[in-house]
């Protein structure tokens, strides 16, 4: 079993950016990254 990732890396952030440009919801992006939608939302709001 793989250990949980604590921080997002550059690749994750690029996937989020691409998802936002494609008008995908936080939930859709989160599913792609196997993360909770709130994690995606916090990442977007904290790096805006």
Q: For residue 17, count other CB atoms closer than 10 A to its CB.
A: 13
Q: How high is the mean pLDDT of the chain? A: 91
Consecutive H or E run containing 21: helix 10-21
Structural domain boundaries in the chain: 24-48
Q: What is the mean pLDDT of residues 26-44?
A: 97
pLDDT at 3 over 60: no
Q: What is the mean pLDDT of residues 8-29?
A: 97
Predicted local confidence at residue 5, as pLDDT: 67
Predicted local confidence at residue 4, as pLDDT: 67
Judged by phi (left if over 0) then psi (alpha if -120 to 50, else beta), residue 45 lies in alpha
- Which has the higher per-residue pLDDT, 48 or 38? 38
pTM: 0.84
Q: For residue 29, count other CB atoms closer than 10 A to its CB.
A: 24
């Amino acid at each position: 079993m793989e250990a949980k990732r604590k921080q997002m890396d550059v690749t994750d952030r690029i996937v989020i950016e691409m998802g936002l440009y494609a008008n995908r919801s936080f939930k859709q992006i989160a599913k792609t990254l196997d993360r909770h939608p709130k994690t995606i939302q916090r990442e977007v709001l904290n790096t805006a």
